[in-house]
Amino acid sequence: AQRVTQPEKLLSVFKGAPVELKCNYSYSGSPELFWYVQYSRQRLQLLLRHISRESIKGFTADLNKGETSFHLKKPFAQEEDSAMYYCALGGQGAQKLVFGQGTRLTINP
Amino acid sequence: NAGVTQTPKFRILKIGQSMTLQCTQDMNHNYMYWYRQDPGMGLKLIYYSVGAGITDKGEVPNGYNVSRSTTEDFPLRLELAAPSQTSVYFCASSRRGQGGEKLFFGSGTQLSVL
């Protein structure tokens, strides 16, 4: 079974501080991990995926298979990063994408 | 570029009423999905389709039905609305299976059942 856990429903940090949104997963196969973001009044959209190993808007995420984690990080938070963030798990042979509960990130000025 | 279009954006239903949430995409994607978003619960998959004529249940299918007669359209039907179905509904599509594929989402339908 696929399962994703985001332990923090709410996260609040000050502008310029580092940000880490936690994501842990459970999957018996080879996982594919994603971070999706929903800004206020916008559609849910893909932020990044682990297979691309890219940095989007200063965010990075590394898949740690040993710890079954895919934490999202940014060294210096900006006010425009305030949004709802979802970690999602797919994988080879998986037809569906399973989402975590989401973390609402608020960046304080 | 329309992408994924959902209608209506808002709807209020009385208990026991029925309605259809419309979803259409113009990207020629084979895979389409319906999710519901409840506060603190994340997105839960209701139904999905891997192509025209093929649908399957997700995590929370009870109280819903779907059909996929064309590649473009994937309507979600609520037959007897219940307060537990108050939620925000999202339709999404992808080019192929979700295992490693990016999902494109609609703007959502906010449904209240009173």
pLDDT in tens, B1-37: 679 999 999 999 999 999 999 999 999 999 999 999 9
**A90·B99 Cβ contact <8 A:** yes
d(CA B10, CA A87): 26
If you ran DSSP here, which 8-state letter would residue A56 be given?
A: B
Task: Return the pLDDT at B96.
Answer: 73
Residues 6+ apart with CB under 8 A from B109: B6, B7, B8, B9, B10, B11, B21, B88, B89, B90
B45 at interface of A, judged by CB pairs closer than 8 A? yes
Residue B100 has pLDDT above 70, yes or no: no
- Which residue has tokens 């494109």? B104
Least confident of A91-100, B38-47, B90-99: A91-100
Distance of alpha carbon A43 from its chain centroid, rounded?
A: 16
Residue A75 has pLDDT above 80, yes or no: yes
Closest CA to A72 of A88, A82, A87: A87
Nearest Cα residue in chain A from B103: A46
**Average pLDDT of the residues in B50-62:** 93
Tell me which residue in B42, B58, B107 faces A96 most closely, judged by beta carbons: B58
Average pLDDT in chain A: 91
**B99·A44 Cβ contact <8 A:** no
**pLDDT confidence bin for A30, thresholds 50/70/90:** confident
Average pLDDT in chain B: 92
**pLDDT confidence bin for A90, thresholds 50/70/90:** confident
Task: Return the pLDDT at A102.
Answer: 94
Q: How far is B80 from chain A (nearest CA, A)?
A: 26
A40 at interface of B, judged by CB pairs closer than 8 A? no
Q: Strand, coil or helix: what is B15?
A: coil
Residues 6+ apart with CB under 8 A from A52: none
Task: Return the pLDDT at B87.
Answer: 96
Scanning A79-98 for CB atoms below 8 A from B yields 86, 90-98
Residue A45 has pLDDT above 60, yes or no: yes
Longest dimension (CA), chain B: 40
A–B interface: beta-carbon pairs under 8 A: 63
d(CA B71, CA B26): 9
- What pairs with residue A61 in β-bridges? A72
**A90·B45 Cβ contact <8 A:** no
